[in-house]
Every structure is written in C-alpha cells, then in structure tokens.
C-alpha cells in the first residue's frame, strides 16, 4: 500500500466536539458536565463549610447577602474508539474504500491526539482481529500511522458480530467511531444497539465507492461476491439499473433513519471525495473551528 498522506495544514483548522457527559482518565481539554477547576462557569450552589473560600462569588454576596460557591466544569481527556470494518468488500473501488477508511481514521486520530484525547483503534471482519490500545499525546501519532499503514482488508464480514466483539473494549461515556460499507448480510442493528447500551457517543461513517453508486457495466454480466465467491448471472439493462438504484437508496436511508432515531451521528461518504475535503464540508456537524 502507498503511504497514507493527508493535508494536515487544513486539518489544523478543525477540532472534534463532543456532547455533554463524556468522561476521561486525567486532565485534558474537554469540558464535561462534571464540576471541576476549569475556567468555564457552570453553576452556583450555597456555600458549605469546607468549600474553598476562593470560589465564593463576592459580587453575588453583595446583591443577596448570602454566600454562594462558583462551580466550574471539569476538563478531562476524552477517549475516541475507532472501529474499522476490514472485510474484503472494503478492499474494492476506485478510489479504494479501505484506503479511504484508513485516511478518515488517520485524520480523526490526528485531531483527537492534538486535542490531548486518548484514541484506540480496532480492526476486524467478524470479530476484533487487531487492536491498538489507548494512546495519548501528539507523540503517539507516528505509532498510529504505522498501525494503520500495516492494515489489510480480507475475509467475510459480519458487522453485527464485529460490533459485539468491539464493545467489550469500551468504557461508559466514550466516543465510538464505526467505519464500514455496511455490506453485511448479518445486519448492523444489534451491534449498534449494544454500543448505545455501553453508553457511547457514536459516529457512523458509511463508506461507498463510485462503482457501487453508479455501476458502469451494461449487458450480460457475472457478478462475483468478493467475500464468499458466490456468483450471479444477470443482464444489466436500464430497468434493472433503476431498480438497483432504488434499492441502494432505500438501504442507505434505512441505515440513516435507524441512526438518527437513536441519536447516532450518521455520515455517508463517497470514496471519490478527498477525506480532508469531506471533513471540512461536514465541519458544522462534527467540529468546532479553531
């Protein structure tokens, strides 16, 4: 595989944003719903014996003649867990879906490490086959790059089983990013529900290639399933092509609807688009500008 390369200069304009309620292991840049010692004000409560007198709001005391303590939100390092479907169907298309998936994870890992978050990365087809345990700090980026660069895509996939296997590595109130083409006869619903049960903030990146979205083949064809080797003969005519488009569109809407109804962030990605361009385009949904 050619070396993975990104336009890091343009990525520097972005920073991942999280919903309230994330948890972390130590001090970092993420503001949470927990009270702590950051500079961002959260709330007041009546002063109690033992409270730090430096937290008393004397201006409020001057108006109310009562002592109140300022509560600020704590800052922690968040944990972002990436899961990449490395079944053989991902190793297809131009540009290749698998390579684009690696580039997306590399870009998001770069942003997370720069924000002092922890990241972990898992790969698998039916179960978690390779795993990079949580890393922290900008100095970890070369290790992430090497890990991603050495990945390959093969085998028959089952996204449900993969998600069920992956969730065992998660702790509550973390972020899970799932990257897959969702070409899994076994489905995906049960696995995503399990991630929700594990109290994850979930981002789904649904990857497709141009050949899947707009097939160019016409006439008599023999289609071969790249994962199972099964074959199917057909005549690609305008009627069948129209039916294919409707079915594909319906399936994508089904996945998006399932996610939206459950508070899961869903993004559809065409591998034709440069991954940095894609992330910049979706900045209003996923990021805060620097």
146 and 280 in a single domain? The answer is yes
Q: What pLDDT shows up at residue 205? A: 98
Percentage of the chain surpassing pLDDT 90?
56
Q: Does residue 225 form part of some domain?
A: no
* 113 belongs to a structural domain: yes
Domain boundary among 40, 56, 76: 76
DSSP string, the chain: -PPP---HHHHTTEEE---TT---SSEEEEEEEEEEEEEEEEEEEE--TTS-GGGB-HHHHHHHSS-EEEEEEEEE--EEEEEEE-SGGGS-TTTTHHHHHHHHHHHHHHHHHHTT-EEEEEEESSSEEEEEEEEESGGGHHHHHHHHHT----S---HHHHHHHHGGG--SSEEEEEEE----TT-SHHHHHHHHHTTEEEEEEEEE-HHHHS----EEEEEE-TTT--EEEEEE-HHHHHHHHHHHHHHHHHHHHHHHHTT-EEEEEETTS-HHHHHHHTHHHHEEE-
Do residue 144 and residue 34 come from a single domain?
Answer: no
Beta bridge partners of 218: none
69 plus 84 within the same structural domain? no
How far apart, in whole angstroms, are the C-alpha atoms of residue 33 and residue 42? 8
Q: Position of tokens 């057909």?
A: 234
Pair (83, 205) in one structural domain = yes
Mark whether 47 and 89 lie in a shared domain: no
Mean pLDDT of 160-186: 93
Please give the backbone phi and psi of residue 43, each rounded to the nearest 5 degrees, phi first. Answer: -170, 175
> At residue 102, does pLDDT exceed 70?
yes
Q: Single out the residue of 186, 164, 183, 156 nearest to residue 83, CA to CA.
A: 164
Residues 280 and 146 in one domain: yes
Over 60: is that where the pLDDT of 161 sits?
Answer: yes
Q: What pLDDT was estimated at residue 78?
A: 79
Residues 67 and 182 in one domain: no
Which range (37-41, 115-119, 186-190) has the least confidence?
37-41
The verdict on residue 242 lying in a domain is no
Q: Is residue 227 part of a domain?
A: no
Q: Identify whether 262 is part of a domain.
A: no
Give the chain's domain count: 2
66/95 same-domain check: no
Tell me, yes or no, whether 153 and 282 share the same domain. yes
Model confidence at 289, pLDDT cuts 50, 70, 90, reads: very low
Please give the pLDDT value at position 44.
67
Would you say residue 71 has pLDDT above 80? no
pTM of the model: 0.81
Count of CA atoms in the C-beta half-sphere (13 A) of 221: 14
Whether residues 85 and 203 share a domain: the answer is yes
| 246, part of any domain | no
The mean-pLDDT minimum among 76-80, 112-116, 139-143, 233-237 falls in 76-80
Q: Is 60 exceeded by the pLDDT of residue 193?
A: yes
Section 212-222 average pLDDT: 88
Task: Name the residue range of residue 59's domain.
Answer: 27-76
pLDDT tens, residue by residue, 6-58: 999 998 878 766 554 444 444 444 545 454 555 555 566 677 666 778 888 89
Across 266-284, average pLDDT: 94
Examine the pLDDT at 154 and tell me if it is beyond 50: yes
Question: Do 161 and 193 lie in a common domain?
Answer: yes
Q: Is 80 exceeded by the pLDDT of residue 126?
A: yes
At 227-267, the pLDDT tens digits run 888 888 888 898 999 999 999 999 999 999 999 999 999 99
Answer with the residue of higher pLDDT: 20 or 155: 155
Q: What is the pLDDT of residue 75?
A: 46
Residue 161 resides in a domain? yes
Residues 85 and 161 in one domain: yes
User: Which segment of 47-61, 107-121, 131-145, 268-282 scores lowest on mean pLDDT?
Assistant: 47-61
Q: Give the CATH number, domain containing residue 195.
A: 3.40.50.410
Per mean pLDDT, which range of 83-87, 142-146, 223-227 is the poorest?
223-227
pLDDT at res. 43: 63
In a domain, 143, yes or no: yes
Contact call for residues 119 and 109 (beta carbons, < 8 A): yes
């Amino acid at each position: 595989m050619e070396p993975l390369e990104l336009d890091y200069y343009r990525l520097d304009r972005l920073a991942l944003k999280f919903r309230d309620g994330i948890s972390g292991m130590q001090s970092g840049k993420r503001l949470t719903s927990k009270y702590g010692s950051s500079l961002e004000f959260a709330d007041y409560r009546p002063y109690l014996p033992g409270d730090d007198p430096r937290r008393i709001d004397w201006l409020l005391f001057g108006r109310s003649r009562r002592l109140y303590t300022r509560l600020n939100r704590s800052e922690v390092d968040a944990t972002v867990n990436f899961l990449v479907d490395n079944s053989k169907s991902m190793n297809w298309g131009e540009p290749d879906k698998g390579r684009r998936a690696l580039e997306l994870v590399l870009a998001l890992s770069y942003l997370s490490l720069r924000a002092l978050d922890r990241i972990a990365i898992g790969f698998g087809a039916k179960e978690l086959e390779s795993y990079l345990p949580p890393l922290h700090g900008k100095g970890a980026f070369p290790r992430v790059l090497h890990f991603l660069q050495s990945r390959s895509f093969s085998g028959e996939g089952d996204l449900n089983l993969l998600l069920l296997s992956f969730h065992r590595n998660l702790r509550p109130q973390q972020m899970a990013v799932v990257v897959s083409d969702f070409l899994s006869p076994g489905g995906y619903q049960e696995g995503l529900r399990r991630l929700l049960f594990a109290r994850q903030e979930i981002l789904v990146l649904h990857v497709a290639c141009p050949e899947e979205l707009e097939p160019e083949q016409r006439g008599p064809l023999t289609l071969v399933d790249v994962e199972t080797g099964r074959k199917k003969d057909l005549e690609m005519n305008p009627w069948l092509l129209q039916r294919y488009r409707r079915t594909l569109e319906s399936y994508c809407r089904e996945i998006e609807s399932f996610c939206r109804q459950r508070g899961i962030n869903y993004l559809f990605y065409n591998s034709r688009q440069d991954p940095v361009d894609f992330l910049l385009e979706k900045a209003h949904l996923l990021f805060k500008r620097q």
